[in-house]
Amino acid sequence: MGKKFLWGSATASYQCEGAWNEDGRGLSIWDEFSHHSDKNINNVTGDIASNHYHQFEEDIRMMKEGGQNSYRFSIAWPRILPKGKGDVNQKGIDFYHRMIDCLLKNGIEPNVTLYHWDLPLPLQEKGGWENEETAYAFAEYARICFSEYGDKVKLWVTINEPHYSITSMYGAGNYPPNVKDGQRCIKAAYITMLASALAVKEFRKFSNIGQIGIVHDASPCYGVDDSKETQFAVRMADNLFNNWVLEPTMRGVFPQDMLDELAKYYDLSFMKKENSEIFKSGTLDFIGINYYSRSFIRSYTEGESYIGVNNTGIKSAVDQPLMVMKGMFEQIKDPGGEFTDWDMEIYPQGMYDTLRQIRQRYGDVPIYITENGVGLYEKLKDGRVEDDGRIDFLSKHIKEMLRAKEDGANICGYYVWSTFDLYSWVNGYKKRYGLVYVDFEDDNRRIPKKSYYWYRDFIRSNNNKNWGIEQ
């Protein structure tokens, strides 16, 4: 039986739900950060966000009217288990039943992420992702979700962007718990991957429950030249940006040359031998790819390791190089590149290259583009948002995705980030990604942007093409 290509859009719980203290929800690290941290530079919270908790029926109706046949969203761990483990909050469980039922009633396939960064605060207080107990708590939380929703949800994701989130939390230090420490960073990265593998182990105990994958922020790495030194730098960047997520989830092991190199600078004794069986049996059914940008790499010159980020929304506000990994590589901006106000390079060909690379490495594994989109400053003008920049971005990237599909990549779906405007983490609300404008000043009124109609018409005109996939 052929299965339909999925054309959808995506959100994440903390970024859109609001209702932070309703119906028994516990606190997450982002509540603590947005309420209390001086690193919350935009001084906003997700307390109300896009009010999706109360407006999800309207949002789902708009997805349907927009021709979308799938919605990627995440479950808030603190709604299900307010303390991270132990007592289950029935009202939280019921909320996602209502959401999933509403999607199914509207013919929209749910694609559910278990962890999109809202780690329960009580777990952070016991060490968070630096403590193996968190990985086991995650597996327990995952089991509860599988058993509650497994008969309705056929696409599951363990963790959203382990690479990006952990390096922001422990490398760049702009995400809570706001740490800048390479040693702690690689340990947290390892435990996050362990958590994914443990959740998969739980998943395999269920039958007829669908497929499970991970969502990776793919960043194809390009060298400034073709020299031997640059090739080494590119390989190391590729290991740290991509392979340490994709290799354990596809093959059950970490890349050996990455471990050899890291061992020169860090203590890797936290990587316990007895966990290797867990990784081997924790491989996944599909890869979710979030594609936003590429990485431009040169060889290491000097100085200590660091990661820079631009959360200001002022172009070029960030120093060069963007990132240094001592002894391994440096990441810089391509002087000829096109960049957004947040210094993200717009590079559609990277979509094609990353998909081709995945096919070369992992064969016919099903791939979903779980996020793709662009953050812009936007204002309502005469009641409308003419976001031609987004239409241009999306159409170029979709074209590259379809080119990869024609060349044989097993792509099964595509999701625009984001369904509607929402809280963009440290960037707050001024960096908008939505197909639908949310008027945060006017009761969270929803106003479809020009891109919403463009996407609807694009899906319509492509529905009669043969996007059928056999699974």
Q: How far is the CB of 219 from ligand NOJ (least distance, A)?
A: 12
For residue 414, state whether it binds ligand NOJ (rule: CB under 6 A): no
Site string for ligand NOJ, 73-92 (x = CB under 6 A): --------------------
Q: How far is the CB of 164 from ligand NOJ (least distance, A)?
A: 7
For residue 371, state whether it binds ligand NOJ (rule: CB under 6 A): yes
Instruction: Please identify which residue in 160, 174, 299, 340 interacts with ligand NOJ, judged by CB under 6 A.
Output: 160
Cα–Cα dist 108/116, whole Å: 21
| Nearer of residues 410 and 427 to ligand NOJ, judged by Cβ | 427
Site string for ligand NOJ, 220-259 (x = CB under 6 A): ----------------------------------------
Q: Write down the catalytic residue from 17, 130, 161, 247.
A: 161
Q: Is 229 a catalytic residue?
A: no
Q: Write down the catalytic residue from 109, 148, 202, 371.
A: 371
In three-state form (DSSP H/G/I as H, E/B as E, the rest C), the secondary structure along 378-412 is CCCECCECCCHHHHHHHHHHHHHHHHHHHCCCCEE
Site for ligand NOJ in 283-322 (CB under 6 A): 290
| Nearer of residues 261 and 371 to ligand NOJ, judged by Cβ | 371
Instruction: Please identify which residue in 12, 135, 214, 374 interacts with ligand NOJ, judged by CB under 6 A.
Output: 12
| Nearer of residues 109 and 161 to ligand NOJ, judged by Cβ | 161
Instruction: Please identify which residue in 161, 330, 378, 400 interacts with ligand NOJ, judged by CB under 6 A.
Output: 161
Q: Which span sits near ligand NOJ by CB under 6 A: 61-69, 265-273, 417-425, 442-450? A: 417-425
| 227, HSE (Cβ side, Cα atoms, 13 Å) | 9
Instruction: Please identify which residue in 293, 424, 444, 451 interacts with ligand NOJ, judged by CB under 6 A.
Output: 424
| Nearer of residues 160 and 174 to ligand NOJ, judged by Cβ | 160
| Nearer of residues 51 and 424 to ligand NOJ, judged by Cβ | 424
Phi, psi of 129, rounded to the nearest 5 degrees = -75, 0
Q: How far is the CB of 12 from ligand NOJ (least distance, A)?
A: 5
Q: Is 132 a catalytic residue?
A: no
Q: How far is the CB of 257 from ligand NOJ (least distance, A)?
A: 28
Q: How far is the CB of 433 from ligand NOJ (least distance, A)?
A: 6
For residue 343, state whether it binds ligand NOJ (rule: CB under 6 A): no
| Nearer of residues 15 and 444 to ligand NOJ, judged by Cβ | 15
Cα–Cα dist 76/29, whole Å: 12
Q: How far is the CB of 343 from ligand NOJ (least distance, A)?
A: 12
Q: How far is the CB of 16 from ligand NOJ (least distance, A)?
A: 10
| Nearer of residues 60 and 289 to ligand NOJ, judged by Cβ | 289
What is the binding site for ligand NOJ (CB under 6 A)? 12, 15, 160-161, 290, 371, 417, 424-425
Catalytic residues, which ones? 161, 371
